[in-house]
Amino acid sequence: MKDRYSEKEVIRAGERLVARGASLSDAELEEIMDVLSYWRFQHESPLDSAAALLKNCTLKHDKKAIFAKRLKRFASIAAKLERFPKMKLKNMQDIGGCRAIVTNQKKLDQVVRELRKRKEFRSGLGKIRFKDYIGNPKGDGYRGYHLIGSFRDQGTEKKLIEVQIRTTIQHDWATALEIVDLFTGQALKSNQGEADWKAFFAHVSAHFALMEEIHLFSSKTREDQLATYQEKVRTNPDFYSTAATVQSYQNSLSVVRKLEAFAHSLKTADEHISEKRVRGYVLLQVDTLRSNVRSTLFENAKSEEAERMYLESEKEAAATQGLVVALVSTSAVGGIKEAYPNYFADSTEFLRYLSLILNIEAFQRPGFIRRMLTGSGLGR
């Protein structure tokens, strides 16, 4: 790998990847991956600055918040360039990304208000660069608030970094969707995949949002959560119908059984990974075919070594079915597994909230689901 690539070489590497795709020779693909790895590493310092700003702003409002940061995987960069062929690699806004997971919507709103005042998130014309996926959820049901900031690298240039803020329930939903992608080979996260799975997650997201409207919902006992949520559903017949739809998809897709099976299938090679904390990065290698997760820890001082091993692992993953690698970092007290449960197939919290939808008392009434589904057309 060269020590430095020009912006033209970076742009050209992205264009070659999209234009040639599967027809690239191994040598050509390796050359492109070297360029992408160089460009990705240029985002490390700006990412650290963005993560520090996010943490500082968030902790003023939520002492229990969890923070994570990551450099985008090669496979994700390639997929995004393919989805948006006019996009230039140099202008991709989320090669570096950091996230705050907060307790509830009120705290999220407080953090967002503070971040929106920061000059880092304004364009040269003073316009705030953001995407409100809470007020306007994605078609698949994804909810969260994104801001695009500009942060200085180790030289005089600035790089774009994506900052995400989610509530714990929104994060649980996103985690479950990513687990399904990981184990089924779909791309639901990119709005590509089986229609039934997309519809299932979209309906579940609407109900999770309904739950979040309830004051201090996540801190209530399970009994109180079910009671207050049911009361909310009773006020809107449409939610009864969509809850029945969720039940139908659960039955046809065997969602609960599959998510539990995914979790049981992964044997964590490092049994103590959930307890580890590191001021730097962790290289995760998830092998869904051999059912294991491997981890390698790197202190901040070894960031270049981490990037080199990340690149080598990605080259291996490109030629190995079922192998997914990621370079991640977190400040979570519970460690990497708490911040990135998707890489460990841990959908425990998602299933806990899903069970509230599946246990609405009306579902126990004879013929209720059949009548609802017949009315919606799903029963036909």
Backbone angles phi, psi at 181, to 5 degrees: -60, -45
Q: What six digits make up the tokens of 111?
A: 């953090």
The shares of helix, strand and coil residues in the chain, as percent rounded to the nearest 5, are 55, 15, 25
What does the pLDDT read at residue 350?
Answer: 96
Look up the pTM and report it: 0.87
At 114, the amino acid letter reads: E
Between β-strands 267-268 and 292-299, what pairing exists: parallel, antiparallel or unpaired?
parallel
CATH fold, domain 1-167, is Beta Polymerase; domain 2 (3.30.460)
User: DSSP letters of 89-127?
Assistant: GGG-TTSEEEEEEESSHHHHHHHHHHHTTSGGGB-TTS-
Cα distances (Å, whole numbers) of residue 105 to 111, 172, 218, 316? 10, 14, 11, 40
Q: Where are the domains of the chain?
A: 1-167
Q: For residue 43, what is the DSSP state?
A: T
Closest CA to 32 of 314, 309, 306: 314
User: DSSP letters of 200-242?
Assistant: HHHHHHHHHHHHHTSTTGGGS-HHHHHHHHHHHHHT-HHHHHH
Q: How far apart are CA 205 and CA 210, in angstroms?
A: 9
Mean pLDDT by runs of 10 across the 380 residues of the chain is: 85 90 85 92 94 96 93 90 90 95 96 97 92 94 97 88 97 95 88 92 96 92 93 87 93 95 76 58 87 84 86 89 86 70 90 92 48 39
What does the pLDDT read at residue 170?
Answer: 97
What does the pLDDT read at residue 375?
Answer: 41
What does the pLDDT read at residue 364?
Answer: 47
Cα distances (Å, whole numbers) of residue 379 to 65, 174, 209, 240? 42, 28, 26, 15
Are 159 and 72 spatial neighbours (Cβ–Cβ below 8 Å)?
Answer: no
For 82, residues 6+ apart whose C-beta sits below 8 A from its C-beta are 18, 21
What does the pLDDT read at residue 264?
Answer: 86
12-47 pLDDT tens trace: 999 998 888 778 888 898 999 999 999 999 999 999
